[in-house]
Amino acid sequence: MKLTAARQQLLLALADTFIPSLPAETPAAEFWQRAGSAGLRLELLEAAIEAQPTALQQQFAQLLALLDSPLLGLSWGGPPRRFVALPPAQREKLLQRWAQSPLPPLRQGFQALRKLLTFLFYADSTPAAPNPAWAATGYPGPLSGSEALADTPRPLPTLQPAQDVTYSCEVLVIGSGAGGGVVAGELAAAGHDVLVLEKGPYCHGCDFTQREAEMIGQLYDARGTLGTTDGGVTLLAGSCLGGGTTVNWAGAFRTPDYVLQEWAQEHEAPHFTQASFQASLDAVTAALHVNTDYARHNGQNQALLEGSARLGQPTRLIPRNELGLDESEQHFRGLGYSTFGDQYGVKQGTLNTYLKTAAQHGARLLPNTQVTHLTRQAGRATGAEAWHTAADGRRVRVTVQARRVVVAGGAIQTPALLLRSGLRHPHLGLHLHLHPTVAVTGIYPAPVEPWYGPSMSVVNDACTRLGGSNFGAKIETPPAHLGLMAMTLPWTSGAAHKRLMLQAAHLGSFIVLTRDRDGGRVRVDGQGQPLISYRLSPFDRASMLAGVRAAAEIHAAAGAHTVLLPHGTLPTLRVEQGRIQNLAVLDGLPGLNWAPNRFTLYSAHQMSTCRMGGRRADHPTSPTGETYELRGLYVADGSAFPACSGVNPMLTIMALAHHTAQHLKADLAADGRSLTQRAPDMAESRR
C-alpha cells in the first residue's frame, strides 16, 4: 500500500497526537516540545505496512479512509470532521474513545497506529542522527557510538546467483534457525550434499548495528510487525540467517520432564521419554556451550532475584548459550543488545555453530531467498521453487531438485508453505501455541537501566504448574529498548505516555510467559501468505493473570514504588516499604475486559502447527519428523512440537531437529542401499 500525500499528512497528524508537542513539565524541554512527526521517516512506515498480507493492507487502507472522512465523527460521538480538521484536544479524545470502543475494528485500528508510531518515534535513528529522545530518557543508543566497527570477513560463504538457476542436492533445508541449522550441520557432517535456503539476510559482526528500528526491520519476519489478523497479538519471529537463534535472548532451557511425558503419552510419541531424545538434548547443549557462568545480572534480573527471595519464592539461573564471555563492561552491556544480533560473536546460535559445521562440510547456503512452493512427484517431495533477491534488488528464479526436503521456517511460515504447496492434512496449521506474554513494569527509585546486561538470567517458577496441572506461567525478564518499551507501555494520553518514557531508565519489566493449553490457527490467503488467528481462552487468561499478580508482588518486594499492570486502562499499584497500598486494583484484574486489543499481548515463541505424533488422523508429522501426507518431506522446527513447550523453546527445537536428522541419515542410507541393490537388476535388464 503506497502512502499518498493525503495519507502521509494524516499519519503525521496521528503521530503528533500520540506524541504531542507539550509545554515542558521538567528540565527536558526539548523532549516535551518535540512532536511525533518530527523526523518520522515515512518510508519506514510504508515498508512496515507493505510487509503485511494483502488483506491486512486493505484493512489499514480502510482505517485511513475512515480517518480521512467526515463520517469519522460517528465512530466516537464527535463532530463530522476529518481527523486532520479536528483540534488537538479532540484528536486525542478520539484516540482515547477508540482505545476503549466496544467495536473491535476501532480498537484494532487504535493499537495498530499506536504501536507503529510510538515505536518509530523512540526507536528510529541513523548513524548521522541519534534519536533526540534518547538523551532525555537516559537511553544510550548503540554502544559502538560513532566509531565504525571493524568489517571482519564473513565466515560463511553464500551462493550469489546472478540469473535464473537450478540446483540439485541430496537434502534441501528451508530455514536456517534452531531447526534448519541443526539439520544442515548434522547431515553435511555425515557426508550428505545439503543446500540451505533462508528467506532473510546474512548479517555478521558490524552488520548488527544495534540500532533498534533498523535491526528489527531487517532481522524479523514482516519487519517486526507480524501479528494476528485481529491485531490482538504481536509476534516476534527471526527472519535472517540463523533465524531465531540470531535474535533471541540466549535462554537455553531443557524441556521439562513433565512436558516430555505429556507429549509421549498424549500424542503417542514415545521417543520424547527415551534415551535417544535425551542424547539429542545433550548433543545440542554441548554444541551451544550452554552454561550459567555469566558474571552478573542486569537490573531487571536482580530485582526478580531479590524480590522473589524476599517473598520466599525460589528462582533458578537460566542457562545461556554463550562462549568467550568475559567480565568486561563491553560484554556485559552488549548482551542487552543481542536481540538485534550479536556484534561480539559470543552468542552460540546456529551462525556460530551448526551452520559453520555445515559450510565446512560443503553445504551451500543461499540467504535472501523466499520459497514459493514445494514440488512433488508420485507422492514424494522432489524440491522447491523460490525467488532470490540479489544484492542489486533483482529477483532471480531458483529451482531446487532434491531427494529429501526439510522445512524449518517456523510455526507460522512452515504451515503456510505446506498449505500453498497443496498439502491438505486436516490438522495442518491448527493447534498454534504462542506462549502469550504480557509485561508487568515496576518503577524503581534508583536507575535500573534495563537495556544493559543479559536480557534473561533468572526465572521464577512459582506459577508454572497451577492447580496441579501442567499449565501456568513463568516469570522472566525481556530485552528493554526504547521502541519496544514505547510499544509495550499502555497509552492513555500523550502527556501520560511521555511521563512514563522519561522514566525509562528507572523501569524494570517482568514478563509473564504463559504455557497456553488452547491454541489458534494459521491459514493462507489467496496469495499464500499466512493469516494468523488466536484468542486467549478463559483458561489461559486465568494462568496469565495468576502470573501477573505474582509479578506485581515481586516488583513490590524488590523495591518498586509503582507497578504498572498490563491493561489498556493502565491500572497502577502504589507501593510503600514493599507493601502494595491499593490491593483492590490487583484483586479487580480478573473483572476487567480482556478482549483483544484492550491489552497488549506478545509472542516470541510460535509452536505446534504441524504437530508430531503417532496418530496420523490428527498429527500432520510422524515421530520420525516425516510428514504423513508426503514422503521425503520432513518438518524440523517448533511447528513439530506436539503441544506448547512451556519453556523458551530454542534448545527443544534444536534437540528435536537433531533427533529428526538421525532419522534422515537412516532414511538416506536405506535409500542408498536400495539404489545399490537395484543397480545389478537394472544392468541385467539392459542386456
Same-domain status, 182 and 279: yes
120 and 65 share a domain? yes
- 425 and 449 part of one domain: no
Going along 277-419, which residue ranges are E strands?
Answer: 290-291, 315-317, 320-321, 364-366, 369-377, 380-389, 395-407
Asked whether residue 581 is domain-assigned, the answer is: yes
Last residue of a domain, one of 545, 562, 595: 595
Does the pLDDT value for residue 384 go beyond 90?
Answer: yes
Higher pLDDT, 541 or 674: 541
Q: Per-residue confidence at 674, pLDDT binned at 50, 70, 90?
A: low
Residue 270 belongs to some domain of the structure: yes
Residue 150: pLDDT band with limits 50, 70, 90: low
In a domain, 131, yes or no: yes
Q: Does one domain contain both 566 and 668?
A: no
Query: What cell was used for 162?
Result: 546472478
HSE-up (13 A, CA, CB side) for residue 25? 9
- Domain assignment present for residue 76? The answer is yes
Give the pLDDT band of residue 149 (cuts 50, 70, 90). low
Q: What is the CATH number of the domain that holds 180?
A: 3.50.50.60
Q: Are strands 364-366 and 194-197 parallel, antiparallel or unpaired?
A: parallel
SS3 assignment, position 363: coil
Compute the mean pLDDT over every residue in the chain, rounded to the nearest whole number: 95
Q: What is the DSSP string of 83-96?
A: GGGS-HHHHHHHHH
CATH at residue 464: 3.30.410
8 CB-near residues (< 8 Å, 6+ apart): 42
pLDDT band at 201 (very low <50, low <70, confident <90, very high): very high
Amino acid 525: pLDDT: 95
Q: Are residues 392 and 411 in the same domain?
A: yes
Question: What letter represents residue 496's amino acid?
Answer: A
What residue type is 610 in one-letter code?
C
Answer yes or no: is pLDDT of 148 > 70: no
Does residue 344 belong to any structural domain of this protein?
Answer: no
Among residues of the chain, what percentage have pLDDT more than 90? 92
Contact 226, 628 (CB under 8 A): no
The total domain count for the chain is 3
Pair 226, 261 in one domain? yes
**Residue of 110, 142, 161, 122 lying closest to 491 (CA atoms):** 110
| Predicted confidence (pLDDT) at residue 680 exceeds the cutoff of 90 | no
pLDDT of residue 378: 97
In sequence order, what are the residues at sequence separation of 6 or more whose Cβ sits closer than 8 angstroms to the Cβ of residue 86?
78, 79, 94
Quick check: is 143 in a domain?
no
Report pLDDT for 601: 97
Q: Which of 444-448, 610-614, 680-684 has the least mean pLDDT? A: 680-684
Among residues 573, 595, 617, which one ends one of the domains?
595
Distance separating alpha carbons of residues 415 and 174, to the nearest angstrom: 12
**How confident is residue 295, by pLDDT bands cut at 50, 70 and 90?**
confident
Question: What are the pLDDT digits (tens) for 559-596?
Answer: 999 999 999 999 999 999 999 999 999 999 999 999 99
In-domain check, residue 282: yes
**Residues 188 and 84 reside in one and the same domain:** no
Average pLDDT over residues 39-63: 93
Q: How confident is the model at residue 681, as a pLDDT?
A: 39
Distance between CA atoms of residues 201 and 343, nearest Å = 16
Instruction: Report percent pLDDT > 70 for the chain.
Output: 97
Question: Is the domain of 78 the same as that of 120?
Answer: yes
pLDDT of residue 146: 39
- In the prediction, which pLDDT does 327 show? 86
Whether 449 and 550 map to the same domain: the answer is yes
pLDDT digits (tens, 9 = 90+) for 528-559: 999 999 999 999 999 999 999 999 999 999 99
Q: Are residues 281 and 298 in the same domain?
A: no
Nearest to 434 by CA among 593, 178, 237, 219: 237
Residue-level pLDDT at 25: 83
Full residue range of the structural domain in which residue 102 is found: 1-137
Domain-located, residue 105? yes
Tell me the range of 123-137, 319-333, 497-511 where mean pLDDT is highest. Answer: 497-511
Q: Verify that 195 and 276 share a domain, yes or no.
A: yes
Mean pLDDT of 429-433: 98
Per-residue pLDDT, averaged over 328-339, amounts to 92
Q: Look at residue 261 and tell me whether its pLDDT is greater than 60.
A: yes
Q: Give yes or no: residues 454 and 572 share one domain.
A: yes
